[in-house]
């Protein structure tokens, strides 16, 4: 981890973002266990370095296409965690007035074009945002986050093909956490690295350690700059691992099949913990400062939890609004 | 007034809207160099250039999704799907994405896009290029569904569709493209949700969509000679549905036939019948009749295809049965 | 050989008959002359006998059911003979579905383009034809016009022969001429209370139905309070009157009622009473009964007097029908009889051709038939004048309602010995005890004026007081 070259401010931001994501997801899991949360949520725990690293390289008016496992992307873009939590609990002041839920949190003001419940469906939408950027001639960039499993959908291939053909300013980020629900990607795809598929569309494909926020940041920055300069899309595969099952409550019994220690090994690479250790080693951030950061974030999180719990449910009439203009 | 084909009317609407608003972008298969498979965008590529009139790869789901992304970020894309059957290739993007984004986002976002696509049988195109998909898309909340009749209507309604801030599925009729119509020199946008009384009558009402409006007018002409006065309503849009106009007419005539080319089962005709039934029950003087495509895939041979297409004769016979 | 038994047509105006009772069950044998079933026509009940020896194979309609005349009601045949074909043919005529309809041929027409691949083909013809098909719009239109569809005799011209709005409007037009006159207020009350105004008798000017008439016809609602703990035992009207029984107003009772009301409130009735000294008639009757070993009744002599008077004054032996007054040469004399089911009037046809003895015999037979409920419809229709005699019940005087479409009716009261003033040959008045009967003639003033009525009843009096003329 190359923390040495990073400023204290930058590292603090990385840590704050990742720690916020981690705590956010822990509280969501708590909601679930307490029976407060309707439906399900797909947690981002373990994958924090990816959204944090990629979004750190973005400007405010850039676009993001997100997925069902999208809480991290929103937190990374600075979305209001009070409204996020309220939405997850189906409350009135949630981002979508309780009509979207965990899987569909949209924060258009943060450039989030929507989390998406259909695997692979957001890839062409983010690509379309890139077309729009090109058409309007701005220097924005569109990011499309998706999992390794989405790369087996037709929309992935169709989108990369068009983005390449028309040199659209889009960067595709694969969060390869190994499993599509229970199915191991190694059992359903005969490529070691999904990034190799980029070559089929004549675009760069890069593999990075998705547990290392600095490596993700640097790779994303290069791809984003390249896109802004009109040189077209890049496919970045971030190797990562999800701490939890596919969704809250999934015991994830499938993952010990090939390697009983798989989870332990990945948890040792915890992106939050690794950054904290590295920053301490290079004396970039003191223990006291870490404590202060954590306390501040804890306060935010508790405030959000409180808000979400107390926020009323939407009026039943809300079902009938927002279908059309 | 001037004479032009239905395809030219589509093209004029696109041209006028593109000239008026540079956010309007046309994309689809063969829309640029070829000017559209049915010649509905002839000359636009030359006039507006490669970025505004975009030939796409054969990736219906991909470029439909692309248009959604464009619509979410400030453009007004007009997508052409070469046949309405191809809506099914792009179904996830149309139904799970475009139709639901406004709602799922709690009104934060909207998708001002138009999908233009031709419906209708009659070209020996067999089962995968002859379907009329208006019933299917109408099922899903969040999509506006337009079924224009003649050239003036197609032009006025397409303009409205392009200016609309919601996803609009705009069904053109492929058998009408090459027919000539008289249309006014200037066609204003026609508001959605307001049906047109194409012909006034007092004995029976026929609510028709798309090309069946013209066929209904022809049947009405024939029936007039037999002393039967038929009111023909051009529905214009299935979503939103102009319940009031239909109900008022049925209250007047007491009899209703609905002509729509989608399949009969769970079709547009069935839906309209059910939609108005509770309000017209005591006014009905005969059962509600339907003229739709029978529940079979469309066959190839003209000998098989023509008898099942909703025709002037089928409309005429249905009215005679009920009157 | 199996055959169909049909609902018999027993009169020119009989369109349908109600099966009152089956005397045989399916599978039973039946002999020629056995009573097979009873039917009710619009005026009477009749037993119908089997016309051959056979077995009852199938009863097609149930007791209480009414069907049009000539439609099949039963299948008879040999024991074990295959009658399935005949039964299904009969059921289809009746518009009924066989219990097992697997072998009913479908009405699928291959020529026609079917718009579904899997729609169940509706043969509709075998559908429940008995149900009156009325479109919702027609019902609404009828309701708005206060028309009762079941009272309107119309044929549907709408979808599948159903009654559509056009048919209702046409019926309204037809009814317009004979429309019930009703005050606006009475009309509103009738609409609110759901009263069929055509059945309400008007007592206003020109028989106009007034508020009071409608109110009088409102049936008191019935409730069954449980004060005594005996469930439903005691019923009270809304205003607290204890109800003994609620009987349906239907069948013969209703027919009589309607006919009476129709007559009384269509024909303006005028009444003329005369007392008749029966001394001479009673003497003659005694002689004849003794000489011919017959039992002529007082009514018979009154009848003959009436017949003679009618021949002299054919204006009374008349009928107003539409815009025409028919005067008859033939006298078909009706005699009102109290039968168990209600009033009925057997008619002695060509009465003017009969002498007192023949007339008396014919009349006695008809009266017996009437009391036994065995009159054929032709035997109680076609009258030109009616006599109603309540003398046997000691009635002093009464008025009768004209039996439409006749023009007059004679009410005959009891013969009573009373003191009367008689004048002897010397012109001297004396009080004498004489058998005297009151006769009251009712005439339809539309076609009979007072003078004619007075002359007519005077003629009857003359014959009864000088009865030798009755024998000429």
* Residues on chain B touching C157 (C-beta within 8 angstroms): none
CA–CA distance, C60 with C68 (Å, rounded to integer): 13
Average pLDDT over residues B8-37: 97
B312 touching C (Cβ < 8 Å): no
* Residues on chain B touching C169 (C-beta within 8 angstroms): none
Q: Is residue C68 among the annotated active site residues?
A: no
Residue B153 half-sphere exposure, CB side, CA atoms within 13 Å? 26
Contact call for B254 and C117, based on CB within 8 A? no
Q: Domains along chain A?
A: 3-310 (3.40.50.970)
Catalytically annotated residue among B60, B176, B217, B261:
B60
User: Beta C66-68 vs C35-40: how paired, if at all?
Assistant: unpaired
Closest-approach residue (CA) in chain B for A121: B93
User: Beta B256-263 vs B204-208: how paired, if at all?
Assistant: parallel
Residue C222 half-sphere exposure, CB side, CA atoms within 13 Å? 11
Q: How far is CA A91 from the centre of its chain?
A: 23
- Out of B264, B282, B285, the one facing C115 most closely (by C-beta) is B264
Contact call for B281 and C136, based on CB within 8 A? yes
DSSP structure string for B138-200: HTSTT-EEE---SHHHHHHHHHHHHH-SS-EEEEEETTTTT-EEEE-SS-----TT--EEEE-
More confident call, B263 vs C380: B263
Contact call for A165 and B63, based on CB within 8 A? no
- pLDDT, residue C108, reads 39
Question: At B223, is the pLDDT very low, low, confident or very high (cuts 50, 70, 90)?
Answer: very high
Whether residue C166 contacts residue C182, with contact meaning beta carbons closer than 8 Å, is answered with no
- pLDDT, residue C196, reads 74
- pLDDT, residue C179, reads 61
CA–CA distance, C469 with B237 (Å, rounded to integer): 94
3-state secondary structure of C220: coil
Interface test with A, best of B55, B57, B66 (most A CBs within 10 A): B66
Over chain A (325 residues), the average pLDDT of each successive run of 10 is 92 97 96 91 96 98 97 97 97 96 93 94 98 97 98 98 98 96 94 96 98 98 97 98 89 85 93 95 94 97 97 95 95
- Out of C113, C117, C135, the one facing B307 most closely (by C-beta) is C113
Average pLDDT, chain B: 97
3-state secondary structure of A172: strand
The dihedral sign for the CA sequence A124, A128, A130, A131: positive
Q: Is the pLDDT of residue B305 over 70?
A: yes
Range 94-153 of A in CB contact (< 8 A) with B: 94-100, 104, 106-109, 113-114, 116-118, 121, 123-136, 142
- Out of C115, C118, C140, the one facing B282 most closely (by C-beta) is C140
The token pair at B103 is 């709602």
| H/E stretch holding B69 | helix B60-72
A322 touching B (Cβ < 8 Å): yes
- pLDDT, residue C228, reads 46
Q: Which has the closest alpha carbon to B106: A320, A93, A109, A95?
A: A95
Contact call for B74 and A116, based on CB within 8 A? no
CA–CA distance, A118 with B96 (Å, rounded to integer): 8
Do the domains spanning B2-183 and B196-322 agree at the CATH topology level? yes
Whether residue C209 contacts residue C188, with contact meaning beta carbons closer than 8 Å, is answered with no
Catalytically annotated residue among C82, C122, C396, C449:
C449
A260 touching B (Cβ < 8 Å): no
Contact call for A114 and B67, based on CB within 8 A? no
What separation, in Å, do the N-terminal and C-terminal C-alpha atoms of chain B show? 37
Burial class (CB in 10 A: 0-12, 13-18, 19+), C1: exposed
- In chain B, where the domains are located: 2-183, 196-322
CA–CA distance, C447 with B127 (Å, rounded to integer): 81
- Where are the alpha helices (H) located in A137-212, listed in sequence order? 154-165, 185-188
CA distance A115 to chain B (A): 9
Closest-approach residue (CA) in chain A for B51: A135
* Residues on chain C touching B253 (C-beta within 8 angstroms): none
* Angle between helical axes of B211-224 and B312-322 (0-180°, round to 10): 50
For chain B, give the percent of residues with pLDDT over 70: 100
CA–CA distance, C99 with C175 (Å, rounded to integer): 41
Contact call for B69 and A106, based on CB within 8 A? no
Contacts of C175-179 with C-beta under 8 Å, sequence gap 24+, read C175/C147
CA–CA distance, B193 with B239 (Å, rounded to integer): 7
B196-322 CATH fold? Rossmann fold (3.40.50)
CA–CA distance, C308 with C468 (Å, rounded to integer): 12
B96 touching A (Cβ < 8 Å): yes
User: In a structure prediction context, what are the per-residue pLDDT tens digits for chain C, which is 472 residues long?
Assistant: 788 898 888 776 677 888 888 988 888 888 888 889 988 876 677 888 888 888 899 899 988 888 888 889 999 988 888 888 888 888 888 888 765 434 333 333 444 444 444 444 444 444 445 567 889 999 888 888 888 887 777 788 888 888 999 899 888 887 775 666 777 778 778 777 777 777 777 777 777 788 888 877 775 544 444 444 444 557 777 777 888 888 878 777 777 888 888 888 889 999 999 999 999 999 999 988 888 888 888 899 999 999 999 999 999 999 988 888 999 999 999 999 888 778 889 999 999 998 888 899 999 999 988 888 788 878 888 899 999 988 888 899 999 999 988 999 999 999 999 998 888 888 888 888 999 999 999 999 999 999 999 999 999 999 999 998 888 7
3-state secondary structure of C173: helix
CATH class of B2-183: alpha beta
Contact call for B284 and C159, based on CB within 8 A? no
- Out of B285, B287, B292, the one facing C115 most closely (by C-beta) is B292
Whether residue A318 contacts residue A99, with contact meaning beta carbons closer than 8 Å, is answered with yes
Contact call for B285 and C164, based on CB within 8 A? yes
- Out of A128, A133, A158, the one facing B68 most closely (by C-beta) is A128
* Residues on chain B touching C117 (C-beta within 8 angstroms): 294-296
CA distance C65 to chain B (A): 29
Average pLDDT over residues B220-236: 97
CA distance A159 to chain B (A): 6
Q: Is residue C269 among the annotated active site residues?
A: no
The token pair at B96 is 């799970």
* Residues on chain B touching A130 (C-beta within 8 angstroms): 69
- pLDDT, residue A139, reads 96
Q: Which pTM was predicted?
A: 0.65
Contact call for A128 and B144, based on CB within 8 A? no
B322 touching C (Cβ < 8 Å): yes
- pLDDT, residue C220, reads 56
- A&B contacts, CB < 8 Å: 151
- Out of B290, B292, B295, the one facing C117 most closely (by C-beta) is B295
B103 touching A (Cβ < 8 Å): yes
Interface test with B, best of A79, A324, A325 (most B CBs within 10 A): A324
Q: Which has the closest alpha carbon to A40: A245, A279, A188?
A: A245
3-state secondary structure of C75: strand
- pLDDT, residue C129, reads 52
Q: Domains along chain C?
A: 3-94 (2.40.50.100), 136-177 (4.10.320.10), 184-246 (no CATH), 253-471 (3.30.559.10)
A282 touching B (Cβ < 8 Å): no
- Out of A100, A128, A161, the one facing B106 most closely (by C-beta) is A100
Whether residue C414 contacts residue C437, with contact meaning beta carbons closer than 8 Å, is answered with yes
Angstrom CA distances, B29 to A14, B39, B63, stand at: 45, 12, 9
Q: In A96-141, where do the E strands start and end?
A: none
Q: Give the count of beta carbons closer than 10 Å to the beta carbon of residue A251.
A: 8
The dihedral sign for the CA sequence A37, A40, A42, A46: positive
Whether residue A218 contacts residue A171, with contact meaning beta carbons closer than 8 Å, is answered with no
């Amino acid at each position: 981890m190359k923390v040495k070259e990073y400023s204290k401010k930058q590292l603090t931001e990385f840590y704050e973002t990742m720690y916020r994501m981690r705590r956010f997801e822990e509280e969501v899991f708590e909601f679930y266990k307490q029976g407060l949360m309707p439906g399900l949520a797909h947690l981002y725990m373990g994958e924090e370095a990816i959204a944090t690293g990629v979004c750190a390289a973005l400007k405010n008016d850039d676009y993001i296409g997100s997925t069902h496992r999208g809480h991290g992307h929103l937190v990374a873009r600075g979305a209001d965690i009070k409204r996020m939590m309220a939405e997850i609990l189906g409350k009135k002041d949630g981002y979508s007035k309780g009509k979207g839920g965990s899987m569909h949190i949209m924060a258009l003001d943060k450039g989030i074009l929507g989390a998406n419940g259909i695997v692979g469906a957001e890839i062409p939408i983010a690509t379309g945002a890139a077309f729009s950027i090109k058409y309007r001639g701005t220097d924005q960039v569109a990011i499309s986050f998706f999992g390794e499993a989405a790369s087996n959908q037709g929309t992935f291939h169709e989108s990369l093909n068009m983005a390449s053909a028309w040199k659209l300013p889009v960067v595709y980020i694969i969060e390869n956490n190994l499993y599509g629900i229970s199915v191991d990607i190694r059992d359903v795809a005969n490529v070691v690295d999904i990034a190799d598929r980029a070559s089929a569309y004549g675009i760069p494909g890069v593999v990075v350690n998705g547990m290392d926020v600095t490596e993700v940041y640097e790779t994303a920055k290069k791809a984003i700059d390249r896109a802004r300069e009109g040189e077209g899309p890049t496919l970045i595969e971030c190797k990562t691992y999800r701490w939890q099952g596919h969704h809250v409550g999934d015991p994830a019994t499938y993952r010990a099949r090939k390697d009983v220690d798989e989870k332990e090994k990945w948890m040792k690479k915890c992106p939050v913990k690794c950054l904290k250790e590295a920053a301490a080693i290079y004396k970039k951030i003191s223990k006291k400062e870490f404590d202060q950061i954590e306390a501040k974030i804890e306060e935010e999180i508790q405030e959000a939890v409180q808000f979400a719990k107390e926020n009323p449910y939407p009026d039943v009439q809300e079902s009938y609004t927002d279908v059309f203009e | 007034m001037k004479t032009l084909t239905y395809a030219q009317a589509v093209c004029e609407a696109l041209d006028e809207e593109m000239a008026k608003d540079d956010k309007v972008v046309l994309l689809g298969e063969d829309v640029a160099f070829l000017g559209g498979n049915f010649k509905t965008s002839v000359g636009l590529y030359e006039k507006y250039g490669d970025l505004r009139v975009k030939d796409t790869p054969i990736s219906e789901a991909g470029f439909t999704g692309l248009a959604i992304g464009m619509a979410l970020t400030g453009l007004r894309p007009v997508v052409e799907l070469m046949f309405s059957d191809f809506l099914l290739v792009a179904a996830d993007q149309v139904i799970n994405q475009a139709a639901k984004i406004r709602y799922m986002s709690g009104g934060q976002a909207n998708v001002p896009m138009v999908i233009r696509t031709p419906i209708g049988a009659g070209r020996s195109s067999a089962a995968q290029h002859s379907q009329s998909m208006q019933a299917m898309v109408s099922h899903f909340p969040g999509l506006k569904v337009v079924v224009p009749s003649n050239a003036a209507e197609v032009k006025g309604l397409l303009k409205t569709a392009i200016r609309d801030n919601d996803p609009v599925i705009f069904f053109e009729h492929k058998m009408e493209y090459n027919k000539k119509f008289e249309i006014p020199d200037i066609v204003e946008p026609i508001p959605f949700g307001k049906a047109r009384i194409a012909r006034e009558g007092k004995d029976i009402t026929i609510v028709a969509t798309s090309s069946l409006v013209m066929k209904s007018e022809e049947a009405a002409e024939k029936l007039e000679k037999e002393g039967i006065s038929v009111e023909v309503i051009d529905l214009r849009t299935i979503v939103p549905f102009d319940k009031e106009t239909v109900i008022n007419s049925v209250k007047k005539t007491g009899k209703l036939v609905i002509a729509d080319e989608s399949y009969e089962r769970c079709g547009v005709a069935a839906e309209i019948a059910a939609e108005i039934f509770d309000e017209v029950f005591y006014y009905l003087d005969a059962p509600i009749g339907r003229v739709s495509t029978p529940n079979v895939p469309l066959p190839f041979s003209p000998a098989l295809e023509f008898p099942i297409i909703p025709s002037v004769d089928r409309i005429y016979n249905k009215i005679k049965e009920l009157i | 050989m199996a055959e169909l038994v049909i609902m018999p047509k027993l009169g020119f105006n009989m369109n349908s008959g109600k099966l009152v009772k089956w005397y045989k069950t399916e599978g039973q044998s039946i002999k020629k002359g056995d009573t097979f079933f009873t039917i009710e026509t619009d005026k009477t009940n009749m037993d119908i006998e089997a016309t051959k020896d056979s077995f009852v194979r199938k009863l097609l309609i149930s007791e209480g059911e009414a069907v049009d005349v000539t439609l099949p009601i039963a299948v008879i045949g040999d024991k074990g003979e295959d009658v399935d074909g005949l039964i299904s043919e009969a059921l289809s005529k009746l518009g009924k579905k066989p219990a097992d309809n697997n072998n009913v041929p479908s009405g699928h027409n291959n020529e026609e383009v079917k718009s579904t691949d899997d729609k169940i083909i509706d043969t509709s013809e075998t559908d429940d034809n008995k149900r009156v098909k009325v479109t919702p719009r027609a019902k609404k239109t009828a309701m708005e016009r206060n028309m009762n569809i079941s009272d309107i005799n119309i044929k549907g011209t709408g979808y599948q022969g159903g009654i559509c709005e056009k048919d209702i409007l046409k019926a309204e037009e037809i009814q317009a001429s004979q429309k019930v006159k009703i005050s606006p207020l009475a009309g509103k009350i009738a609409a609110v209370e759901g009263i069929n105004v055509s059945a309400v008798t008007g007592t206003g000017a020109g028989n106009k139905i007034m508020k009071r008439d409608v109110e009088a016809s409102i049936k008191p609602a019935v409730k069954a309070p449980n004060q005594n703990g005996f469930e439903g035992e005691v019923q009270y009207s809304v205003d607290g009157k204890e109800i003994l029984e609620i009987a349906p107003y239907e069948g013969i009772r209703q027919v009589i009622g309607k006919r009476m009301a129709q007559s009384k409130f269509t024909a303006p009735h005028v009444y003329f009473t005369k007392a008749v000294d029966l001394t001479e008639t009673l003497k003659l009757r005694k002689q004849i009964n003794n000489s011919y070993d017959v039992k002529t009744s007082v009514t018979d002599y009154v009848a003959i007097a009436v017949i003679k008077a009618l021949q002299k004054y054919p204006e009374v032996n008349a009928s107003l029908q539409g815009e025409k007054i028919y005067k008859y040469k033939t006298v078909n004399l009706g005699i009102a009889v109290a039968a168990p089911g209600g009033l009925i009037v057997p008619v002695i046809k060509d009465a003017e051709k009969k002498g007192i003895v023949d007339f008396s015999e014919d009349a006695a037979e008809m009266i017996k038939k009437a009391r036994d409920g065995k009159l054929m419809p032709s035997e109680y229709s076609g009258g030109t004048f009616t006599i109603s005699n309540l003398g046997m019940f000691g009635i002093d005087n009464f008025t009768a309602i004209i039996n439409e479409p006749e023009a007059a009716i004679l009410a005959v009261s009891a013969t009573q010995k009373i003191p009367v003033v008689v004048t002897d040959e010397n012109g001297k008045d004396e009080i004498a005890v004489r058998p005297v009967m009151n006769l009251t003639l009712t005439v339809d003033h539309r076609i009979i004026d007072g003078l004619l009525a007075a002359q007519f009843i005077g003629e009857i009096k003359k014959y009864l007081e000088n009865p030798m003329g009755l024998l000429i």
